[in-house]
Structure 1
Amino acid sequence: MNHIESVRKKEPVLVFDGLLFRLRDIELIRADSDWRTEQQFAASHVLMTVSSGQGSLTMDSLDCRLRPDAAIVCPPGQTYGISAEKNDGMKLFLLRFDALRETEHNEEGVRYVKEACLQSLTGELPVYPAGQMAALCESIYSQWHSQDGLERYHSQLAFQEMLYFLLKNSFRQPEDSRTSLELAKAHMEQCYNENLTIEQLARIADISPKYFVDLFKKTYGTSAIDYLTELRINRAKQFMAQSGAKLRDIAHQVGYNDEFYFSRKFKKEVGVTPTVYLKSRRRKIAAYGSAITGQLLALKIIPYAAPLHPKWTAYYYKKYRSDIPVHLSAYRKNQHWESNIETLQLAHPDLVISMDELKEGEKERLDQISSVFYVPETVMGWREHLRLTGEFLGESAEAELWLRSYDRKVKSAREQLQHAVKEDQFLIVRISKQRLYIHCNRSMKEVFYEDLQLAPAYLCDSVYDQPITLEQLAGIDADRLLLMVFQENETLAYWQALQHSIMWQELKAVRNNRVYPIPSHPWREYSAVAHERIVDESLMLLSGNRPK
């Protein structure tokens, strides 16, 4: 993500004069190694800055680094997810605040305020020196949590001082080695097909090779060699989309003299061989729904179009966003279907695959785009969905091969889990807004309880999503809880308070440290790939073993 664009010296007065800033909350997170949050809504502006360590941030579709020499502001209405750098502890401050602009007086002489849109205070802001920003955050955090009301008031003033510090910094950036590092990175992006070495890149950056290696990893979150590999593989994918592309020519074009080495490298990075990937590029198959994406990927078909979003389809977005040329909206559950239809009309897919439970008007418009294959959603299970899709696409053998592999994985995981959890009973709890629900959807019922044969603490023959009180939850007395927390401010605030309640702390699962947070994906998607991931995640959560 680029630094905030430079603006004229007078702009701060023009833009920020008349604005009111109010700090809503400040949160301090100390995170180790693989800590991460799910993608969540920003109901207000969120300023993120680290005083030590590093991490990565996905803000809607933008990826950027969290590091001590930069602060990042996420505007309201966007989503963000954070992860800590592996093997590097991170100290992160999250400051949520409102930006309000005064309006004119009304007839009674009362002046109102309205929410302001701050383009100049959105994105990445440089921090020089980083230590001053860290000290300001520490001071605000201490004052905000003080028992003294006057100190809490002072935290608002300190917050204004911090914003002023950030804004002054955004109009002047000192020259440092990061500028020359950008030159080396740009050279990699332009000359990825050449035989580049660390020594060459370090000379471009005018620093030592060892310092170049360390600084590149620290700045961009990946090694220079891994970044070069990513550039080459992504460019190879673009060449593969062209008709008549030959594997040997593609390997040479992206900097690999040995096509067999290229094939091994490609499979390691992408998960399938270049031959399989080429095959999936020949037909423009659109996945109209994330569950269809999960079925196509099990058949080793990467869709030409699919719903992608860092929150609602996080796994597919992170893993396949550069492989899928046409990105449909994945906002909530098909909420933007009309714009998706328009996108598909412009994309001209050869074939669209969709679940059959669509609104009549939506189905009529979809049928006008291309041939559409509808998978019956409720009358068949996911295995039949996969077989039916495979048969239609001429990939029945691939479907059966995948199912046999899945069954082997389930058998192995079941044996390991039975040893780890013995006869413990499970309950899946969903938290939304300020309500608790005991929850079991089709995926949880068929994979978690049936395939893995884990014992439910709440016996029910069908799927359910029932409101429950904390007292009733204590009455069920489950040995282990799987917990799904909706990622938005009201729910997260309720969950924070819930953890401090005596009744929650006295639950058997809580006392024994057997509460396991789970994300919405893969647990709420009814597809082959999602179910394989449920098996893998269950094994990791409950036994600590990695899937075989």
Structure 2
Amino acid sequence: MSGKNVPFQDLFVTMTKVAKDAVPIGGLVLIPPKNEHQLLFVLGGTAKVQVDHKHSQPILAADTHFIIKPGQSLQITNQGSHLLDISIIACEVVQLSRADHKLSAASVKTFAYFQYETVSHTPRSLRAMVQKLQEPSTFIDMQKLLENQFLFQKLIYLLMDSHASQTDADPRHAVESTIEYLKLHYDEAITIEDLAGIAQLSRRWYTTLFKEITGENPSDYLIRLRIDKAKELLTMSKESLYAIARKVGFEDEHYFSRRFKQKVGVSPRFYLHNRRILGTTVTHPELMYLLGTIPIAAFSPDQEFPSYLLEAFKQVPKLNNSHHFDPEYFKPFKPDVILAAEWKDYENYDALSRIAPTFLLPSHNDWRDELTDVGEILDKKKQAHRFIRWYDDKRDEVREQLKLLTNNETVAYARMTQEGLIVFGNQSSRGKILYTELGLIPPEKSLLHIDGKILSVEQLAGLGADHIILQIGEQADSSREALLQQPGWRKLMTSPTSRIYTVGHREWYNFSFSPLSTGFAMQHMLQMFERGVVR
């Protein structure tokens, strides 16, 4: 056996933990994500496996196994009519450093095996080895631990050998293995001859198959991988062009810049300052606009953008504001960066990241923190802080004007929705703006301690508020008509003590969540209170 074909000489696998389980009929086992590979062996029964909550659910029969990659979660269901007997072996795949940064052919095959994403057959001759590894041992039983490590190494070698015998008949599998290798080793010095040698094919035949599979020749494919990673680093890090060029496999910054412009059409610096950015919420476009960035497409709470965005966004495509959307919906827009919200996009993060580098923004109780986060991503943090200071000064001016206009009279804020009238207290984001930041007085003390509460018309009237701001919610036309016909509503409208101010849905939708909408609402309140009652 030649030295380059010796297994585990520069890439080896170490077993870290073994677990077994007997799952009853119809039973369910959840395997949380780990930072290492895991091998799931089905020794008896039939299992349905769901990876990362995806729709596709492979079936594992007895004497099959499945490789769980780092970061993947698994849901295993006993689909058979017998007890499901499974074994899970956790292991680390460790690469030793070499001066030429290249892996031997044998080690590339090891790497390729651990990238395999389908159900594999487990030869019955290896079943006893898996069961042997399940036998309990202790940390003080060093001989047993060493024997298990040697046995595990042998198991991995035989599994790879079995896998290779199943795939070697089709040279496409060998080429696909090198493609998976390139995806993680794009930064290394590797030639087409190296790749063809790993696949044990001639250079000409290897290049032909590679282009059939990817649509590109190996050199162009590798350059694209490197440029795509460079775009990600330009977006996600603040490293110099020289450092980024080195990280993605270019020795020379100027050569990197030339190849980048050839592939992308603009220089790396121009790309950095003119990225195509898309946000997944209705607030992201407003925050971006405040910082001088126009999104390539934007969600809107209504058929049109709010009036304060109409002129600036007249060329911006409007996205369908659905709470249940497929991340693939964004792909045709070809974004360079995606701003996503943790509260709604956590489970879609991987899918979004496959479209473009994605920032998962944490949830905040104050739009100022979210604007600061967006400013950090867009490299406009100073502008964000400058706007916050300007806004706070304007808010203080409005606060003083409202104090004079309301003269210690009480104000209630309600939103008409299909569920009913929701009144917001001081614990809600809207209530904090009204009663804390603007100093307005709520109609009764109990409302200081609620978030949002559904009230009937009679209960709203019973609050005795001097001023009632009523926002008409989305798709609430039928609810509004039904409300207007109620005797309690007519009584409230003719009340000599309460003044009703009706405000629209479009501009007030992001009230308290976006400074643009909140600023619009503050000016609107000044105008309404100056004019008096609006019924």
TM interval, shorter chain, is 0.3 to 0.5
Task: State the TM-score, normalizing by the size of structure 2.
Answer: 0.44
Q: Which has the higher contact order (CA 8 A, sep 6+)?
A: 1
Task: State the TM-score, normalizing by the size of structure 1.
Answer: 0.43
